[in-house]
Structure 1
Amino acid sequence: MSRLRIGVTLRVVGVLVVMGIAVFPLYWMFVTALSSNADLFAADARLLPDFSELGVFADALADGEALTWLRNSLVIALGTTVLSIGLGIPLGYALSRFSFRGKMLTAVVLLLTQMLPEALMVVPLFALFNRFDLLDSLTGLVLANSAFVLPIVALILKGAIDGIPRELEEAGRVDGARPLTMLLRINVPLIGPSIAAAAVIAFFHAWNEYVFAVTFIYAPETQPASVGIANFIGEVGTPVQTVMAVAFMFTLPAVAFYLFAQKYVVAGMTAGAVKG
């Protein structure tokens, strides 16, 4: 019993340490946002927040720019998630269930696209978006982010569909179900955890994306928060408290979304690893 208690204690301590490491950056942003200039440049770091400085959050939201940035980031992230999942499900199903010439090459090409950095795609995408009048629009960013994250979403869903017994679809085919019906009524409910995991990946990619946003967006009213926060950095000075306050608010939705979907992430990432 003593060994069991020691083992449980060590596990609890280990979990608390990992949680502390993960949460500390968010906590430090909050503390820094509530620190005065004297505290920021003091010899000893301030470890506890000064709640008398909570007005910095109201000041950061006063002109409405920060709320506009957060709204734009949410639109881009949700649009990218919906579009990439909507296209990734049929693409993953086709790669898993249908046989066609170049199937293996298609899967390899999808995998190789993840080795390309975003900076390499900026120039051709800029020319393409300029031709189709997609510059300085949230729609253009949704399309660019979806194109970048779609391959990994499709491959995750393909692996999950590979783990579904084909006998289920054969039974549906006997009842006269078409491929689209089998996909929506048989496969999609069974790969729900993998869809959630892929949605988290797509959401985080679009939420944190900076290269495409800073290149394709010009107007302040269409900038996402990732670009807006960077605009606080000036030649003369940088309002550190305001930057940290907006960054804290920018981080919270992503953390909340992950906490909501975390149980599906683990199940989804392991789905399809072993065929049944």
Structure 2
Amino acid sequence: MSAIPSTTRRPGRTRAIGRYVLIVAVCLVVLFPIYWMLITAIQTPASTLRYPPHPWPTDINLNGFRKVFSDLPIARWLGNSTFLALVATAITTVLAIIGAYTLAALRWRGRALFGLLLMTTQMMPEAIVVIPIYQLYSKTHLIDNLIALSFLHAAFVLPIGVWILRSAMAGIPREISEAALIDGCGHLAVLRRIMVPLTSPAIVAVAVVAFFASWGEYLFATTMITTSERYPASVGLATLIGQLDTPVDELLAGGLIYAIAPVVLFVLIQRYIISGLTAGGVKG
């Protein structure tokens, strides 16, 4: 068997090398801010503000992390963020399952229009509705209430969750649910025994999307929460930014701690997220 000419192998090898170079370049661009955040957090402010800046840490100093835990209620802030994210995730997941089943499995007039209107809510910036929502919350005495804020977070991520699950449920053959209905199961039983187990990766994806959205939300949190003891971490860390002085080492050390939870969560369940987001991609 004759060898493959080198002229044939070279274009494919060149494309592969170019692809890897592009991947490495994109990774460097994405990871550089995280790297710079890390070296800024572990060295003195004087070293950080030196010009020209050094691309590696020159004066290791962990006082930023020490001050975060000694001078700031970082544990309380992280606890508030966790509470907000978990409640918003639970609300979003439950309502998204019900809403997706309604759109995917039931036949009713106006279903397509309702689904379209549901998605158009994502075109509305939060800044437009923050004032009327604040007035509504103020009149109903829901200001400075973490549970009320979690409902608000869930309301804005719910349409995305409904559509993710709707695509997954639409990919399940209707014959399965129809057979269950004929055998005497009600719609709630079909939803609980058939739809939920078969779309569990998509449900996990919705839960993760809701968790991340609530964990990193800032606008509504800084508007609706006025007591420092109830600050989520996103608002609490932002209070370190001052007009005349900003403790950069404390701010970035707290930011690294704040970023650990979602990163660890994503690493642990990333395969479920990918399979969940692609569920129903063929039949929708």
TM-score normalised to the size of structure 1? 0.92
In structure 1, which of residues 142, 146, 154 is the aligned counterpart of residue 150 of structure 2? 142
Match of 1:121 in 2: 129
User: How far off is 1:148 after superposition?
Assistant: 0.9
Q: Which amino acid aligns with 2:223?
A: T
Residue in 2 aligned with 1:273? 281
Q: Where does structure 1 lack aligned partners over 5 or more consecutive residues? A: none
- TM superposition shift of 1:12: 4.8
1:49 to 49, 57, 60: 57
CA distance in structure 2 between the partners assigned to 1:55 and 1:173 by the alignment: 64
| CA distance in structure 1 between the aligned counterparts of 2:153 and 2:180, rounded to whole angstroms | 35
Partner of 1:184: 192
Structure 2 counterparts to residues 103-122 of structure 1, below 5 A: 103-122=111-130
Corresponding position of 2:33: 25
2:208 to 200, 206, 211: 200
Find the counterpart in structure 1 of residue 255 from structure 2: 247
Q: Which amino acid aligns with 2:158?
A: L
Distance 1:159 1:51, change over 3 A: farther
* Alpha-carbon displacement from aligned partner over 1:154-190 (angstroms, at most 9, x marks no partner): 1111111110101111232233222111111111111
Select 1:166's aligned residue among 168, 171, 174: 174
Task: Give the distance between the partners of 1:260 and 1:121, measured in 2 at CA.
Answer: 35
Partner of 2:272 in structure 1?
264
Taking the aligned partners of 1:195 and 1:84, their CA distance within structure 2 comes to 10
Aligned AA (2:259): T
CA contact (8 A) 1:30 1:49 kept: no
**Larger of the two Rg values belongs to structure:** 2
Structure 2's unaligned 5+ residue stretches are: none
Alignment of 1:35 onto 2:43: yes
| Partners of 1:89 and 1:18 in 2: CA distance | 36
- Partners in 1 of 2:237 and 2:219 — Cα distance? 14
Alignment length (residue pairs):
276
SS class of match (2:33) = helix
**SS class of match (1:53):** coil
Moved more, 74-83 or 37-46: 37-46
TM-score, L = length of structure 2: 0.89
Q: Distance in 2 between matches of 1:19 and 1:203?
A: 25
The 3-state SS of whatever aligns with 1:75 is helix
Give the corresponding residue for 2:234.
226
Across the aligned residues of Structure 1 and Structure 2, the Cα RMSD in angstroms comes to: 2.0
Q: Which moved further from structure 2: 84-93 or 51-60?
A: 51-60
3-state SS of 2:205 partner = helix
